[in-house]
Structure 1
Amino acid sequence: MAAMTPTTSPSVLVTGATGRIGRAVIDRLARAGVPVRALEHRPGTARNLPGNVSVVRGDLTVPETLDAALRGIRTVLLVWAAPPDTAGAVVARLAAHVRRVVLLSAPHRTDHPFFRQPNPAATLFAELERLIAATGLESTIVRPGMFASNALAWWGGAIRGDGVVRWPYGDAETAPVDDRDVAEVLARTLHEDGHAGGDYVLTGPESLSQAEQARIAGEAVGRPVRFEEMPPGEFRSQAPEAARPAADMLLAAWKATLGRPAYVTTTVAGLLGSPPRTFRRWATDHAAAFTGAPRRG
């Protein structure tokens, strides 16, 4: 694919450029007039990018491929989607080329039982944060909690089907954050001054049980939804073998938070100057994805 070359040299590199969050960040930076360089590790995967975005090859699992991508870059969005083996080498290369790293992490330091369960991903994020701090790089850590979009992956099939959501720990409360709010915060921290040293935990504006979220999703698409409690053991047994650690982590987190409201922050409002989107708004805006209808526009 022939990448378009912006008239101004890019100052921001976005890794994970073809993922849901990375691509949304690129679109927001491009609309703000920020020249962006998008990192792709497979040819042709970064498609239909805005005109002021250039594409460069690079792979987090092969750190030496990052040198060309990092030349002239001031700030990097690091979205880690690779095994942990090369984390140290990747961070060392960042330190050799750039001034600041914005890391998409998780709220593993937050003092709430939902976030304090053993979690392999949290272990990786903690190590990345340690490595970045050890280099002396300026950093901004962005820590979204549960994504609202999980509802589509988890319950979309049931809502499109018979309307019965079978799921464990229906009373467990979370504060789902809209992916768009996360992307907007990341974009701001990448191109605005004043975010060096920032450590931002992002949540939605309200604590909702999982059963309430399923009901709201149904209401947003005009379909009645009935929630049925699934035994935790059944949930785990249905998970593919490779997903068992994630299933165990979720089960432990949901169980630990029973009887407590979710952890809710005002960080999105403080950074963006407007309240975070509610889960109901997210569900309404994504109704077509729940029904299988084609999106308009």
Structure 2
Amino acid sequence: MRIVFMGTPEFAVASLEALIDAGCEVVGVVTAPDKPAGRGQVLSESAVKKFAVANHIKVLQPEKLKDPAFIESLRALRADLQVVVAFRMLPEVVWNMPPLGTINLHASLLPQYRGAAPINWAVINGEKESGVTTFLLKHEIDTGNVLFTEKVTIPEDFTAGDLHDKLMNKGAGLLVKTVKAVESGKYTEQPQAQLAEGVSLKHAPKIFKDDCRIDWNNQVEQIYNRIRGLSPYPTAFTTLNGKTLKIFKAEKESGEVNDAPGSYSTDGKTYLKFAGTDGYVSLTDLQLEGKKRMGVEEFLRGYKVQ
């Protein structure tokens, strides 16, 4: 079975590597064009491209997915199946091309958390469970018939980065299972409309800067979960002495609050904590504008908090 793989970031590399290790015939990879990055604006290749080149797999990098030249090159690969992991929304002319269709790996238990940032929102919302889903692509994004799912637990101290790594590896295994099932024809499809019956759906839209700004007029649990859900990227932030302060990790302190929400206190040596409505959030891993990321004690040794 000839497979074309579509993906861009590190999350997708684990799945591509798993397919290769399982003996699948990946005849081509579609990934994002090289982009200028860093101070020198040097062209940077996607993680998927680097892996594909290292493994001698043909790479296509279209600017536009409806470009006739790209469509012709894609068709020339004669794929039986296309696999998508962390890539752009595909036009029908692309996802409907191979005879066995196009399958997608999504980092949630669909139909929950459809959208661009399922890992972040699951942690932000304090979920205790998440997972990965493989499904067949159709017109509306993340709505195709489900093939397989696998659940994972989310420990209370997990960040979005921790969950990303756990789902990346879990998803790679599930994708191989799915591809083998499609090849053998031994699988069933579950319409998401059936799975969604009587369920209150939560969504996972793209995260913008305003989503990262901490609102201290919330309960400590909500603030703590937002910090976890945005760490390490795009990172929750507040202000300290007029400068942006990114917060990567923190601890909860419940109890009586004698300070206004958003006010902070420190002993200048070991702690820096902000008040919420029902307790405090004590920062442990942070980065002040213009400074490097560091632990709170190192930060307080070199910076006088006014």
- Calculate the TM-score normalised by the size of structure 2: 0.41
Question: Which structure shows the bigger proportion of residues in strand conformation?
Answer: 2
- Calculate the TM-score normalised by the size of structure 1: 0.42
Question: Which structure shows the bigger proportion of residues in helix conformation?
Answer: 1
* Greater RCO, CA 8 A, separation 6+: 1
Larger Rg: 2
